[in-house]
A and B are shown apart, each in its own frame.
Chain A
Amino acid sequence: MNKATREAYGDALMELIDKNKDVVVLDADLSHATKTLGFSQKCPERFFNMGIAEADMIGTAAGLAACGKIPFASTFAVFATGRAFDQIRNTVCYAKLNVKIVGTHAGITVGPDGGTHEAIEDIALMRSLPNMTVIVPSDDVEARKAVLAAAEYVGPVYLRMARGASPTYHKEDYQFELGKGELVRDGDDITIVATGLMVPLALEAAERLEKEGTSVQVVNIHTIKPLDEERIVKCAKKTGKIITLEEANVYGGLGAAVCEILADQYPVPVKRIGVQDKFGKSGSSEELLREYGLTAEHVVSVAKEMMTNQISV
Chain B
Amino acid sequence: MDHVKEMAKAMRIDIIEEVAAAGSGHPGGSLSATDILATLYFDKMNIDPQNPRWEDRDRLILSKGHVAPALYAALAERGYFSKEALKTLRKSNSFLQGHPDMKGTPGVDMSSGSLGQGLSAANGMALAGRLDHKDYYVYVILGDGEIQEGQIWEAAMSSAHYQLDHVIAFLDFNGLQIDGKNEEVMNVKPVDEKFRSFGWDVQVIDGHDCHGISVAVDLAKQKKGKPSMIICKTVKGKGVSFMEGQAGWHGTAPNAEQTEQALRELRAI
Contact = CB atoms under 8 A, between A and B. Distances in A.
B114 A56 contact: no
A256 to B, nearest CB: 26
In the A-B complex, list the 5 residue pairs whose CB atoms are closest, starting with the nearest. A63-B124, A59-B120, A67-B128, A56-B154, A63-B121
A65 to B, nearest CB: 7
Interface string A95-134: 1100000000000000000000000000000000000000
Chain A contact residues, majority secondary structure: helix
Interface in B122-172: 122-129, 131-132, 138, 150-151, 154-155, 157-158, 161-162
A61 interface: yes
22 contacts: A51-B154, A55-B151, A56-B151, A56-B155, A59-B118, A59-B119, A59-B120, A59-B123, A63-B121, A64-B125, A67-B132, A68-B128, A69-B124, A69-B131, A71-B124, A87-B120, A90-B113, A90-B114, A91-B110, A91-B117, A91-B120, A95-B103
B129 A60 contact: no
Given A48-B162, A90-B114, A95-B102, A65 B124 contact: yes
Size category, A interface: 20 to 34
Interface string B105-121: 00001111110111111
Contact of B125 (A24, A45, A55, A63): A63
B182 to A, nearest CB: 22
A51 B128 contact: no
B55 A68 contact: yes
B101 interface: yes
B154 A67 contact: no
Interface of B: 55, 59, 101-103, 109-114, 116-129, 131-132, 138, 150-151, 154-155, 157-158, 161-162
B158 A69 contact: no
Interface of A: 24, 45-46, 48, 50-51, 53, 55-69, 71, 86-87, 89-91, 94-96
B131 A46 contact: yes
A62 B124 contact: yes
B103 A66 contact: no
A64 B127 CA distance: 7
B120 A51 contact: no
Contact of A90 (B117, B127, B157): B117
Contact of B129 (A67, A90, A94): A67
Contacts, number: 117
Given A46-B131, A90-B117, A96-B103, A66 B110 contact: yes
B105 to A, nearest CB: 11
Quick one: which of A55, A60, A86, A96 has the most chain B CB within 10 A? A60
Contact of A60 (B103, B121, B150): B121
A81 B97 CA distance: 26
A229 B112 CA distance: 34
Given A60-B155, A62-B110, A89-B114, 8 more contacts: A51-B154, A55-B116, A56-B120, A63-B125, A64-B127, A91-B111, A91-B117, A91-B121
